Amino acid sequence: MATKTPLLSHIAVVLVRPKNAENIGAAARICWNMGIERLILVRDSLPEREPMAKMATHKAAHLIDTLELHSNLEDALSHFSIVVGTTARRGRQRFVHQTPREMVDALLPQLANNQVAIIFGPEDTGLTNDDLKYCQMTSAIPTADFSSINLAQAVAIHCYELQYGIIHARKDMAPAPQLATSFELESMYTYLEKSLYTIDFIEEVSCAHWMGTIRNFFNRITLTSKDANIVRGICKKFLFHTESNLG
């Protein structure tokens, strides 16, 4: 097993709607080998234990028994301040993708004060646009031609880069501040969207486009809990006065 460091305890691997129990077990084995001890499953129910445990082997079987299960991604991510989505490169870029190594370099200053989730999509389709809206950054594994690789392989590459990057990080690196959690951000976005509807800045047909652009803007500047609560508070006050005037 790889060397453990305290910063690895700030990282969780999140498998979103995985289809094969064996891939969950393989991911558990990889996480344990690389010193990551938190594995989260977003799925309606747990698969049969035996095929998961067989791939995990007895060394990582405890991760199978302590899997965190959530029925939806928003709940699974509520306590995380940084969410990284893993994707395959496609013709139409939805984000500015980083390689796993570039992603780790960007994460290192954030790890001391923040909880980080690395999310992986289903084997056949990957993460959807709706899944990716929760992400502050994305990581794509460079390949020579065929971009799709096995789920467990993708988990292995990212976990290795995280473990290696943390162990070899500069000791004098100044930690970044604690950022707003996903729960705080989603609450802010809910009120912001309602406010933009109220002033007819967005319409139903253009909502996804504009909210995606706004999310990308806030992701670039990063928000603390205080920042997110200020924006949320402004929107709540605006909506209150708007509804009072209409009444």
pLDDT score of 169: 85
Q: Same domain for 71 and 160?
A: yes
3-state secondary structure (DSSP) of residue 242: helix
Q: What range defines the domain where residue 227 resides?
A: 182-246
- pLDDT tens digits in sequence order for the chain, 247 residues long: 555 678 999 999 999 999 999 999 999 999 999 999 999 999 999 999 999 999 999 999 999 999 999 999 999 999 999 999 998 755 444 556 799 999 999 999 999 999 999 999 999 889 999 999 999 999 999 887 766 789 999 999 999 999 999 998 877 778 889 999 999 999 999 999 999 999 999 988 888 889 999 999 999 899 999 999 999 999 999 999 887 776 5
How far, in Å, are 22, 57, 127, 135 from residue 50 at the CA level? 9, 10, 26, 32
Number of domains in the chain: 2
Q: How far apart are CA 244 and CA 247, in angstroms?
A: 5
Q: Same domain for 142 and 203?
A: no
Q: Same domain for 194 and 149?
A: no
How far, in Å, are 1, 14, 52, 89, 121 from residue 23 at the CA level? 19, 13, 7, 22, 12
Burial (0-12, 13-18, 19+ Cβ within 10 Å), 245: exposed
pLDDT score of 247: 55
Q: Same domain for 135 and 161?
A: yes
The 8-class DSSP code of residue 40 comes to E
pLDDT score of 132: 93
Residues whose CB is less than 8 angstroms from the CB of residue 140 and which lie 6 or more positions away in sequence, other chains included? 86, 87, 88, 89, 97, 98, 99, 147
Tell me which of 167, 193, 220 is where a domain ends. 167
Q: Tokens 């967005």 correspond to what residue?
A: 202
Going by C-alpha positions, the residue among 45, 23, 27 that lies closest to residue 36 is 27
Do residues 103 and 137 touch, judged by C-beta distance below 8 A?
yes
pLDDT score of 198: 92
Going by C-alpha positions, the residue among 73, 72, 71, 84 that lies closest to residue 117 is 84
Tell me which of 167, 190, 219 is where a domain ends. 167
Burial (0-12, 13-18, 19+ Cβ within 10 Å), 49: middle
pLDDT score of 91: 45
Q: Do the domain assignments include residue 74?
A: yes
Q: Same domain for 149 and 233?
A: no
Q: Do the domain assignments include residue 26?
A: yes
Backbone Cα Rg of the chain: 19
Q: Same domain for 212 and 94?
A: no
How many other CB atoms sit within 10 Å of the CB of residue 114?
19
**Where is 132: in which H helix or E strand?**
helix 129-132
Q: Do the domain assignments include residue 127?
A: yes
